[in-house]
Amino acid sequence: MREWQLPVRAEALKVLVSGYQSWSEAELRPLTDVQARPAMAWRHDQGHDPGFLPSGLGGVWRSHTLIALVRGDGGGWVGGALDATLTFAQWEARVDGDGVRVTCTLEGPEVPVVWEETVDVTAAVEALAARLGRAMGARQPAPLRVWCSWYSYYRDVTLDAMLENAHLARERGLPFDVFQLDDGFQADLGDWTRPAAHFGGHARDLPGPLRELGFTPGLWLAPFLVGPGSQLFAEHRDWLVRGPDGAPLHDMTRLGEVRTVLRASGDWQRYQAERAMPHYGGVFDWHTLEGPFVLERGGTFHLLYSGGAWIGETYGVGHATAPHPLGPFQEPQPGAAVLRSGRGLIGPGHASVTQRGDQDHLVFHAWDAAHTMRQLHVAPLSWTSGRPVAVVP
């Protein structure tokens, strides 16, 4: 663990924290405030790092990958990790007597960590983010500054509120690129073209005025959700995904009994040896079995899955069979027998199968040579002695 002690009073600082993922809060708040911890347990797993949750305490702020402490003059301190491929950087800023203590703990392989004082925190954060992107070979489009209705209005947004905020932003010279309308404009989930009674208009009335003000309009949608009180639910129940009892699924976390159908069976599936995994209570070899797809051929169910470390030569698509979609599955041949890295493919996986005529085709993604993006690929799928094999030139 790395540690820094700052001889500055906490009351003089704000803290900028980066969320674990899109459901985690990214905030700029007084350091002495309380970092909220979700009351709902399911959000601990879905929206946060279960091993490094928000503190729920005053004067203790936790962040992932990057953290910044900001003085009133815009200067301060910025810290960040320069590689997040295999490593989580867990930052904590804590009020410590008359000063502030900052720590950084790495979960995963050792990576470079930056901690620096700066006269311009905003510029330093942008520069550090660019360094991280370059180090990881990521595409780096120009950043977009987005105003989103969700964080100010939740589901109570109105058309007037959207336009009022857009006008204020333009009058005050706030550098937003996008104005996004989030949840609450529609009558119900699924009824996207029917406005909510409180919205005071229609979503289609918004893009024109926003463009006139120089903003790009944005819109939130959840196309695979439907509310039980919606018109779509009433008129098209045949469109709903149903569970084993024939009833519509309430959500994607209640699918009935959860059972394990296949476990790691070999070293080729190992992503990282001796990984510290505090949310599981120890240090373990981390094996990867991901991206499953099941299809039936001749009464046998074939499970295709991706395994291993995508940066290595063993990553690819494995195969197991069973007489029933819930298993038990057995692997007739160990290893990435369907498809693996090589022949110009880096980390191929997350495959599915489609047909054209009588020919099966494997659809999958793989990294480009520069490791900047995953690209879509299609290859014929042959069946030899009942085993699928991708035909890659």
What is the rounded average pLDDT of the residues 264-268? 89
pLDDT of residue 143: 75
Q: Which tens digit of pLDDT belongs to each residue from 111-163?
A: 999 999 999 999 999 999 989 988 888 877 777 889 999 888 989 999 999 99
Do residues 91 and 104 lie in contact, with contact meaning Cβ atoms separated by under 8 Å?
yes
Q: What is the mean pLDDT of the chain?
A: 90
What is the pLDDT, as a whole number, of residue 259?
A: 81
Question: pLDDT, tens digit, for every residue of 352-369?
Answer: 999 998 899 999 999 988
Looking at 120-134, 251-265, 312-326, which range is the least confident one? 251-265
**Residue 310 vs residue 198, higher pLDDT:** 198
Whether the predicted pLDDT of 99 surpasses 60: yes
Question: What's the pLDDT score for residue 256?
Answer: 60
Q: How does DSSP classify residue 386?
A: T
Q: What is the model's pLDDT at position 279?
A: 65
Query: What is the predicted pLDDT for the residue at 243?
Result: 74
Higher pLDDT, 372 or 30: 30
State the Cα–Cα distance between residues 341 and 333, nearest whole angstrom.
17
Going edge to edge, which strands form the sheet with 316-322? 289-297, 300-307, 316-322, 339-340
Give how far Cα 8 sits from Cα of 33, 78, 94, 221, 224, Å: 16, 15, 12, 45, 50
Residue 338 is predicted with a pLDDT of 95
Phi, psi dihedrals of residue 245, rounded to the nearest 5°: -85, 0
pLDDT of residue 125: 94
Task: Check residue 254 and give its pLDDT.
Answer: 56
Q: Which tokens in the block code for residue 205? A: 């009335």
d(CA 188, CA 232): 9
DSSP-derived pairing of the beta strands 146-148 and 178-181: parallel
What is the percentage of the chain residues whose pLDDT exceeds 70?
A: 96
Give residue 33's pLDDT.
95
β-strands 359-367, 2-6 pairing: unpaired
Whether 202 shows a pLDDT value over 80: the answer reads: yes
Q: Write the pLDDT tens digit of every residue in 223-257.
A: 888 988 899 999 998 898 887 778 777 665 555 66
In this prediction, residue 136 carries a pLDDT of: 85
pLDDT of residue 330: 93
Instruction: Sort residue 371 into left (φ over 0), alpha (ψ -120 to 50) or beta.
Output: left
Average pLDDT of span 159-186: 96
Name the one residue in this structure whose structure tokens are 């819109």: 219
Q: How much is the pLDDT for 81?
A: 95
Q: Which residues pair with 367 in a beta bridge?
A: 346, 374
pLDDT confidence bin for 23, thresholds 50/70/90: low
pLDDT the model gives residue 302: 96
Distance CA 72, CA 230 (A): 49
Residues 275-289 have pLDDT tens digits of: 877 667 788 888 989
CB neighbours of residue 143 within 10 Å: 10
Q: In this predicted model, which residue has the larger pLDDT, 273 or 141?
A: 273
Tokens of 36: 């909220």
Tens of pLDDT, residue by residue over 26-77, are: 788 999 999 988 777 777 776 778 788 888 899 999 999 999 999 999 999 9
